[in-house]
């Protein structure tokens, strides 16, 4: 280190501000690390509670005895149609036997970007429920896929890939069996297709879905 201010390029005049900037950054990092330490446990609890709250609505009350939000595997786009990100699948069991799998499904063709859904499928292949997790559909029209805004998403309750047949998983306008949300045909089409695809995937991979060991990296 050059300590003579007049000689050499990195003079003290330049060094002091740089060191003080680095010190300030270190102080900021220390402050954040301390806050993180203090809040980490609470944040993790909040996240788990949030997931459980959503999952609970898709599971039979008292019908399972494991912790589905911890019994998770991760599916990649190559496996699950219509998604290219790794998405979690939560599994509910009773006395070790499979009850319901809750798939995270991404419908890529919403009106504004993709729609993230949770699709609960019972071991017999019927749907226990569908919920919209994340979307950017038009307020007042496409956002009627949220349960808080309309009951449309309940159309899928109890359906399976034989009820109706795969070819009839379309909106009524397209000649299928499902009412579309008025003013949001694109949104309705995207959701119906994504639910149908996840049912097909489930039918083909059911045993594998439940037997795959837990992926600890996903919470």
Partner 1 sequence: MNEFRQIFLDGLWRNNPGLTQMLGICPLLAVSNTLINGLSLGIATSLVLIATSALVSLTRRWLFFELRLPMFVLIIASLVTVVELLFQAFFYELYLGLGIFVPLIVTNCLILGRAEVFASHRAWLPSAADGLAQGAGFTLVLVVLGGLREIIGRGSLLHGADMLFGRGAAALEITILPGNNGLLMVLLPPGAFLSLALLVALKNHLTGLQTARQTSKALLHADAEAAG
- At closest approach, how far in Å is the CB of 39 from partner 1? 4
Closest distance of CB 168 from partner 1, Å: 31
**From the centroid of its chain, how far is CA 114?**
12
The residue from 5, 8, 10, 17 that contacts partner 1 (CB under 8 A) is: 17
Among residues 144, 143, 167, 169, the alpha carbon closest in space to that of 156 is found at 169
Q: Residue 149 CB: number of other CB atoms within 10 A?
A: 15
Residue with tokens 């149609």: 81
DSSP sequence for 152-178: GGGGGTT-BTTBS-GGG-SBGGGTSSB
Closer by beta carbon to partner 1, 36 or else 65: 36
Q: DSSP secondary structure string, 110-144? A: -SSS-EEEEEEEETTS-EEEEEEEE--PPTTTGGG
How many residues contact partner 1, by CB under 8 A? 22
* Segment interacting with partner 1, rule: CB under 8 A, options 28-36, 108-116, 163-171, 197-205: 28-36
By beta-carbon proximity to partner 1, the closer residue of 40 and 154 is: 40
Q: Is 179 in the site for partner 1 (CB under 8 A)?
A: no
- Per CB under 8 A, does 8 bind partner 1? no
Residue 156 tokens read as 């899928």
What residues line the site for partner 1 (CB under 8 A)? 16-17, 20-21, 24-25, 27-29, 31-32, 35-36, 39, 42-43, 46-47, 49-50, 139-140
């Amino acid at each position: 280190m050059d300590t003579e201010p007049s000689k050499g390029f990195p003079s003290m005049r330049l060094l002091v501000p740089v060191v003080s900037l680095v010190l300030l950054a270190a102080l900021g990092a220390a402050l954040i690390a301390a806050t993180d330490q203090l809040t980490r446990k609470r944040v993790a609890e909040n996240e788990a509670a949030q997931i459980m709250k959503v999952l609970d609505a898709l599971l039979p009350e008292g019908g399972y005895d494991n912790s589905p939000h911890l019994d998770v595997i991760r599916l990649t786009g190559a496996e699950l149609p219509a998604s290219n990100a790794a998405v979690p699948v939560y599994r509910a069991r009773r006395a070790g036997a499979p009850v319901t799998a809750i798939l995270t499904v991404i419908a890529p063709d919403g009106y504004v970007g993709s729609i993230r859904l949770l699709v609960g499928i019972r071991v017999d292949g019927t749907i226990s429920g569908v919920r919209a997790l994340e979307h950017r559909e038009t307020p007042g029209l496409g956002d009627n896929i949220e349960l808080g805004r309309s009951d449309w998403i309940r159309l899928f309750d109890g359906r399976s890939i034989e009820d109706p047949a795969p070819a009839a998983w379309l909106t009524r306008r397209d000649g299928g069996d499902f009412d579309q949300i008025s003013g949001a045909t694109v949104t309705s089409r995207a959701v119906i297709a994504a639910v149908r695809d996840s049912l097909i995937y489930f039918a083909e991979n059911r045993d594998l879905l439940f037997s795959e060991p837990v992926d600890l990296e996903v919470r």
